[in-house]
Structure 1
Amino acid sequence: MTPLDMVLTPRGLRFQGRHLPCSLGRGGLTKRKREGDGATPRGTHRIVGLLYRPDRMARPTDWAVPIQPRDIWSDDPADPDYNLMTTAPSAYSHESLRRADPLYDLVLLTDWNWPYSVPGRGSAIFIHRWRRRGYPTEGCVALAPNDLLWLAQRIRYKTRLIIP
């Protein structure tokens, strides 16, 4: 492990000497992630991107990419763009990145099943804002808004998310 690693512990996500309370997937932790299981995959995942809503917040870092109105994430294993960010409209199942609620106002992207996805192995494991403390996700890691912003402003290219 390096000082740039985020490590899941019983107290939350540990990073740079702080423990950030977090929520995980409703399906618990797994080594055998599948699309729709609601589980958070164990393993070491690199941070590969940062998205933000420019209409709701200032650019948090110089490498953050704005979420546009038609941006979506494909979660359909039949889609040639499965587990990739693309734009609407799409005939395949997908999730809008520009949500009415604030969950995706700031999103850290991991390399789970990316860039060369295996259909059905599970799409996008994000680090995003939580609904409320303790409320489970669909498999992502979720943090309080202030902790998420603090984290986003401090991670670097070599930062990893380690879920033992």
Structure 2
Amino acid sequence: MLVVVTSHAKARSGTLYLYEKQNGTWRKVLANIRVVVGKNGIGKQKEGDGKTPAGVYPLGTAFGTAKKPAGLKIPYRQTTAYDYWVDDPTSKDYNRWIYYRGNPHRRWKSFERLTHPLYKYAVVVRYNDSPIVKGKGSAIFLHIWPRPSSYTLGCIAMAEKDLLSVIKRLDAKKKPIILISEQKKL
């Protein structure tokens, strides 16, 4: 199972396709889904550069503030007020999902609350996690956009209905991966 995201050089928008292997042949099962990427395009090099990472990465668990959608074939975790993704490169928790009941401002210099409205539904893109390189970038997800003209700080975002279509097609048994690339303009 392959999710492909392409964007033109330095563009903030792109297109998502989903392919499944059927009888030994890759078939497009979702096409032309509009997405937005990092405010500085694709090609992440470091934490805070505003770019979406280029490359091929496994897709991890789905998560969100909403209840698990029916029929999901990938793991799903409903988030709480105690769920954070740490993007503080000085922390031992860097680029990890942490459940923490204390004051996050005392523990980390930077973090994301996983109860953010744009994370009603989301999927972890397993970027920089094997091994984790501090400062290379963190907290990369597929998630909901606020509007089609927006951008992200490194994630890939789309309309809620499109994200749900993608999530519902993903199957953990088929080891879904994502290919993120920049296209040259013709």
Under a length normalisation based on structure 1, what TM-score does the superposition of the two structures give? 0.88
DSSP 3-state at the match of 1:80: coil
Match 2:88 to one of 76, 92, 95: 76
Q: Are 1:58 and 2:67 an aligned pair? A: yes
For 2:46, the aligned partner's letter is: R
Structure 1, residues 25-72: CA drift from partner, whole Å, max 9, x if none? 001111x5200001011000110111121xxx3312262111011101
For 1:59, the aligned partner's letter is: K
- The structure 1 segments of at least 4 consecutive aligned residues displaced by more than 2 Å after TM superposition are 87-90
Match 1:5 to one of 2, 27, 48: 2
Aligned to 1:145: 160
CA contact (8 A) 1:75 1:95 kept: yes
DSSP 3-state at the match of 1:40: coil
For 1:134, the aligned partner's letter is: S
Name stretches of at least 5 consecutive residues in structure 2 with no aligned partner: 8-13, 19-28, 182-186
For 1:42, the aligned partner's letter is: A
Aligned to 1:67: 79
Match 1:107 to one of 109, 117, 122: 122
Partners in 1 of 2:67 and 2:86 — Cα distance?
26
Percent identical residues: 32
Partners in 2 of 1:144 and 1:17 — Cα distance?
14
The answer to which structure has the higher strand fraction is: 2
Partners in 2 of 1:48 and 1:33 — Cα distance?
21
CA contact (8 A) 1:22 1:134 kept: no
DSSP 3-state at the match of 2:169: coil
Aligned to 2:25: none
What displacement does 1:87 show? Answer: 2.7
CA contact (8 A) 2:64 2:77 kept: yes
Structure 1, residues 96-140: CA drift from partner, whole Å, max 9, x if none? 1112xx201111001101143100000121000001103110100
Q: Are 1:20 and 2:20 an aligned pair? A: no
> Which of 1 and 2 has greater Rg?
2
Name stretches of at least 5 consecutive residues in structure 1 with no aligned partner: none
Match 1:132 to one of 147, 162, 173: 147
For 2:59, the aligned partner's letter is: I
For 2:56, the aligned partner's letter is: T
The answer to which structure has the higher helix fraction is: 2
Give the number of aligned pairs.
155
